Structure 1
Amino acid sequence: MGRAAQAVIHLSAIRHNYRLAKRLASGAQAIAVVKADAYGHGSAEVARFLEPETVAFGVACIEEALELRASGITKPILLLEGFFTEDELAVVSANNFWTAVHRPEQITWIEQAVLTQPLNVWLKMDSGMHRLGMAPETYAAEFKRLKASPNVESVVLMSHLACADELESAYTYQQIAAFDQATSDLDAPHSIANSPATLGWPSLHRDWVRPGLMLYGASPFEDAHEYADQLMPAMTLQSEVIAIREILAGDAVGYGASFRADKPMRIGTVAMGYGDGYPRHAVTGTPVMVNGQRTRIIGRVSMDMCGVDLTDIAGVEIGATVEFWGANLAVEEVAKHCGTIPYTLLTCVTKRVPRVYC
């Protein structure tokens, strides 16, 4: 009953992808990154399923971490953006959250805090991305401050790579050189590898890897890659044909009459639009699958609906299944047609699209 748009989440695929990360980085521990509602897949459901497999989870902020605790997750949760105000430290400590630290005043707050238990701190270095992190020249001193504080139980040395998805990038080597030079005399575990580094830079696995996008079966690379090709897509975004039209050459389809038929055509209207998170900038020609057969989007995507070309597909009737991405159509390919990246497509699927777990 009701509207047919849904995101089918294949939890076994997420487990497969997490196990792939652990196998590739067999000497490291793997944090399962479930920020942004597990990249649109449902953080509570994904975390509950993965909890027997993983040591800890990664989220962006304390709000996401508290949602996981409220859903019953007991494993440690790393705050990848850290804490934002001094008063959050009590919550971090009480809930066994691990926290990134990326600016000196956060260390001062830790030193001055009254906590129920000491913290597991991930000290972030700005090795060249220039987003978050301590400067390399002050990093060792900040590490020593943390190690001297009774409010700190342990410290992990952490950085983030700007170009790990470019496997020949000289910039990654520059970042690693900066990180290794600044940490050469520091005795603590390292964490550098995100999804592309986990898949493509084995020398950067170190002690902790942080797989994110790869857990959900999408590749961070532009081209085929031996290990990325082993990932299993975790989301199938699908809906149904709700109307069918026969149109003539010259007839227009959709808002702005931006598509005009150059021959008689059979077109379908599907219950899926940008209100569901399917991108409005999916141009005519963006691939979709109808009843398992490949065809294309035509005309502009509307808020609740879009048009698909049924001209060369036999046997399609009202109720036919339309797959927008999933096991039969890679989200990476759809992203290229839309001028964006898989991260955006997955995280932008809206709450009105039911997640169905299998």
Structure 2
Amino acid sequence: MSRPAKATVDLAAIRHNYQLAQQLAPNAQALGVVKANAYGHGSVAVAKTLEPLAPVLAVACIEEAIELRQAGIVKPVLLLEGVFEADEIVTASEQNFWIMASGIEQVELIANAAIAEPVTVWLKADSGMHRLGLTDGQVQQAYARLSALAHVNNDIVIATHFAAADELDSDFTLQQINRFASMTEGLKTPVSLANSAGILAWPQAHGNYTRPGIMLYGSSPFAQAQANADQLKPVMTLASEVIAVRTIEAGETVGYGRSWIAQRRSTIATVAIGYGDGYPRQMPNGTPVFINGQRAPLAGRVSMDMITVDVTEIGTVNVGDNVELWGHNIPLNEVASCVGTISYELVTRMPLRTPRLYINATTNGAAAV
């Protein structure tokens, strides 16, 4: 029998969340963002799920795009960070990878490329994120330079990225929208502004292409409740099983560093999952897990391969009982908040040791990877 720790990935939920992105921005085309191993969910499996739905897939870099091509994905793939060397443009031309140009240096690499097939280019405008992107004067200059070239397709897209779209009480997103409009004034070209938060909460930013990321994986980008985000379906369930149950007396301690002290006679369940499986070591005492239909608190420091849980209040617990760390019963965002991070980090750090079990690919069958 194999170790019970696993991450179940519901591909039907991926499809639902993508379709929600389309419904919320019906006049835009939604990309399928599968960078960072599809946010830890498995880029190939997720890309194959999205390929019949999405006109374009998106990754961070050319290595991620090549992985999709080698797996048989044929849809265009946008390189969100663009290219870093001139020979990558040749590969992009051959493989139908679209290139994001985020600076004058990348614009010049594309302009000077010697390629047989033209490439599709997106230009990134810095409307206020101040991380990557062309400045006010550079946008128009770069657009004019590239649109005059025979080896650049004439459907150049201009994009930007929001810094605070997840902050619903901030007006900075409106400032970015207005600045972007000024930067692109007079250009008859498709635009892309909206990430997940933009799709869900800023309809004036939907543009021609949207870029749903974390929402595809069932997690809200907002700290508070938001009506559209409440329609998302969780995708990943991280689960394992109880491998031992013991009773300890008041005053006894549990785990490394003796950080948890029993205040009464307590029942402790040991679960086969730890930071080696993607459950962070920093999780504090009291973080909820789900056992036998009830919540129970983490008790003691997370080890590499195991955690311990105080199950005193939930009745009989036996070896082999299922334990959910996050999923349908313990929201991913809640777990992230317990450790002072965001859902993005938890799922993207999921290691290869934790097998992904894919369900609802096209039927109710399952396959492990």
TM-score in same-fold range (> 0.5):
yes
Paired residue type of 1:203: Q
Identical-pair percentage: 53
Q: TM-score, normalised by structure 1?
A: 0.99
Give the aligned CA root-mean-square deviation in angstroms.
0.8
* Structure-1 residue corresponding to 2:24: 24
- Say whether residues 1:230 and 2:257 are aligned partners: no
Once the two structures are superposed, residues 214-249 of structure 1 have per-residue CA deviations (whole angstroms, 9 ceiling, x without a partner) of: 000000001111010000000000000111110010
Give distance in 1, aligned partners of 2:185 and 2:177: 12
* Structure-2 residue corresponding to 1:45: 45
* Structure-2 residue corresponding to 1:54: 54
Displaced runs of 4+ in structure 1, greater than 3 A?
none
* Structure-2 residue corresponding to 1:266: 267
In terms of mean alpha carbon deviation, does 109-118 or 72-81 score higher?
109-118
Shift of 1:116: 2.2
Paired residue type of 2:339: C
Give distance in 2, aligned partners of 1:140 and 1:133: 13
In terms of mean alpha carbon deviation, does 46-55 or 196-205 score higher?
46-55
Q: How many residues align?
A: 358
Does the residue aligned with 2:276 lie in a helix, a strand or coil? coil
Shift of 1:315: 2.4
* Structure-1 residue corresponding to 2:322: 321
* Structure-1 residue corresponding to 2:351: 350
Paired residue type of 1:69: R
Paired residue type of 2:286: G
* Structure-1 residue corresponding to 2:203: 202
Give distance in 1, aligned partners of 2:173 and 2:234: 27
* Structure-2 residue corresponding to 1:81: 81
For residues 89-100 of structure 1, the aligned pairs below 5 Å read: 89-100=89-100
Does the residue aligned with 2:308 lie in a helix, a strand or coil? strand
Give distance in 1, aligned partners of 2:140 and 2:112: 20
Does the residue aligned with 2:275 lie in a helix, a strand or coil? coil
In terms of mean alpha carbon deviation, does 169-178 or 230-239 score higher?
169-178
* Structure-2 residue corresponding to 1:148: 148
* Structure-1 residue corresponding to 2:250: 249
Give distance in 1, aligned partners of 2:292 and 2:38: 28
Q: TM-score, normalised by structure 2?
A: 0.96
* 8 Å CA contact 2:245, 2:317 repeated in 1: no
Does the residue aligned with 2:318 lie in a helix, a strand or coil? coil
Shift of 1:167: 1.5
Give distance in 2, aligned partners of 1:52 and 1:108: 34
Does the residue aligned with 1:193 lie in a helix, a strand or coil? coil
* Structure-2 residue corresponding to 1:311: 312
Give distance in 2, aligned partners of 1:172 and 1:200: 10
Paired residue type of 1:96: N
Does the residue aligned with 1:196 lie in a helix, a strand or coil? helix
Does the residue aligned with 2:347 lie in a helix, a strand or coil? helix
Shift of 1:178: 1.3
* Structure-1 residue corresponding to 2:9: 9
Shift of 1:106: 1.6
Give distance in 2, aligned partners of 1:131 and 1:324: 34
Shift of 1:292: 2.3
Shift of 1:105: 1.9
Shift of 1:118: 0.8
Give distance in 1, aligned partners of 2:19 and 2:134: 32
For residues 67-146 of structure 1, the aligned pairs below 5 Å read: 67-146=67-146
- Say whether residues 1:185 and 2:186 are aligned partners: yes
Give distance in 1, aligned partners of 2:350 and 2:294: 23
* 8 Å CA contact 2:124, 2:134 repeated in 1: yes
Give distance in 2, aligned partners of 1:337 and 1:105: 42
Paired residue type of 2:81: E
Does the residue aligned with 1:219 lie in a helix, a strand or coil? coil
* 8 Å CA contact 2:197, 2:221 repeated in 1: yes
Give distance in 1, aligned partners of 2:293 and 2:10: 18
Paired residue type of 2:295: R
Once the two structures are superposed, residues 96-143 of structure 1 have per-residue CA deviations (whole angstroms, 9 ceiling, x without a partner) of: 001100111222221221112111111001111111101112211111
Does the residue aligned with 2:156 lie in a helix, a strand or coil? strand
Give distance in 1, aligned partners of 2:116 and 2:266: 69
* Structure-1 residue corresponding to 2:170: 169
Once the two structures are superposed, residues 245-294 of structure 1 have per-residue CA deviations (whole angstroms, 9 ceiling, x without a partner) of: 10010000010001101101000111111111101111001110012211
Paired residue type of 1:95: Q
Unaligned runs of 5+ in 1: none
Paired residue type of 1:15: R
